[in-house]
Amino acid sequence: MQTIRALVKTEPGVGLQLQDIPLPELRPNHVRIRVLKSSICGTDLHIYEWDDWAARTIQPPMAIGHEYVGVVDAVGSNVHDHFPGELVTGEGHLVCGHCRNCLAGRRHLCPNTRGVGVDRPGAFAEYISIPVANVWHCDPNIPLDILSCFDPFGNATHTALSFNMVGEDVLITGAGPIGLMATAIARHVGARHVVVTDLTGYRRKLAARMGATLALDPGQYSLQEIMAKLGMKEGFDVGLEMSGSPQALVDMLAAMCHGGKIALLGLLPTGAGIDWDKVIFHGLTIKGIYGREMFETWYKMTTMVQSGLDIAPVITHRFPYHEFEQGFALMRSGQCGKVILDWAEAEND
């Protein structure tokens, strides 16, 4: 049996193991991809740390990881429009194809969604197999590091493009990698002020690099002070909550203009409460975001990069895959943007 190297959650508990697992077999309607680079997601960190969500969700043994770029290695039967050697990445959400939303083309709203590297073997491996419907052909002019981040870049794009930002004042709470990418997108699509809040100085500096008008510590400055400083009179037009902090959401709600629009991406803890008066009397719109629109979000990511959007500063660290422990330690510290694992060099082992 041919085997490949993969990062596996072998049993319940903290940690990951580098292991040999079987090469994914070629199944009908599937494409096998040789992974070149993958990137570490907050989700992967949750799985590493084995928090409540991970314990509820992951059934070991499971090879994890869902953000990657690679080349088509081989295709299963019934696959006619993908060929070995093509540069590809993949949508990490597998949808059922037969529910109301799937049939209506709203596949990101499928209630039967399953996740690569969560419910089925993932991309922290030399090879991965995914359904042909999940394959995205990459523009080879886009750097591999950036292509390896298309999954979270897609979260940022889906969130940021949910509401019109042209000439608007935008508040982004949370400057993790997705908040940072959203900052660059807001700037790219023509927002006026893009205010970013984060508790970490390292990430505030990155936010400034991504085009934030101001990147501030919410413990030091109130949003009302910031608005006064910028000459804003009525509050933010668009809010993107990307921190998962209940306080950040409370502060955001108090700083929105009447009729403002909020997209929620950060996962809030169970029971996090808000002042509903702010939503009702101020006529706010709140939209929850999960995943990426298939495949409109992927199209927009590609075309925004082709038209000058640069998310490269978000990628701060790179490691060969066997130094994954360093990558995860860095993720835990928060002193990083996106951390990339290189799998291509596995060939030289």
Q: Which residues here bind Zn ion, judged by CB under 5 A? A: 41, 95-96, 99, 102, 110, 112, 152
Give 94 or 256: the residue with its C-beta nearer to Zn ion.
94
Annotated catalytic residue: which of 43, 89, 157, 297?
A: 43
β strands within 3-100, DSSP E: 3-9, 17-22, 30-40, 62-63, 68-75, 87-90, 93-94
- According to DSSP, residue 109 is labeled G
Give 95 or 240: the residue with its C-beta nearer to Zn ion.
95
Least Cβ distance, residue 88 to Zn ion (angstroms): 17
Least Cβ distance, residue 9 to Zn ion (angstroms): 16
| Nearest one of 48, 50, 37, 17 to 128, comparing CA atoms | 37
Give 88 or 95: the residue with its C-beta nearer to Zn ion.
95
**Residue 330, token pair as written in the block:** 């860095």
Least Cβ distance, residue 28 to Zn ion (angstroms): 20
Q: What is the DSSP string of 206-243?
A: HHHHTT-SEEE-TTTS-HHHHHHHHT-SS-EEEEEE-S
**Residue 63, token pair as written in the block:** 């090879």
Reply yes or no on whether 193 is catalytic.
no
CA distances from 29 to 34, 112, 158, 170, 291 (A): 17, 19, 27, 42, 23
Least Cβ distance, residue 173 to Zn ion (angstroms): 19
Least Cβ distance, residue 112 to Zn ion (angstroms): 5
- According to DSSP, residue 283 is labeled T
Q: Where are the alpha helices (DSSP H) in the chain?
A: 42-49, 52-57, 100-103, 144-147, 150-160, 177-188, 201-209, 223-230, 246-254, 276-281, 296-306, 324-333
Torsion angle of the four alpha carbons 251, 181, 70, 27, in this order, in degrees rounded to the nearest 10: 40
Reply yes or no on whether 43 is catalytic.
yes
Active-site residues, by number, are 43, 46
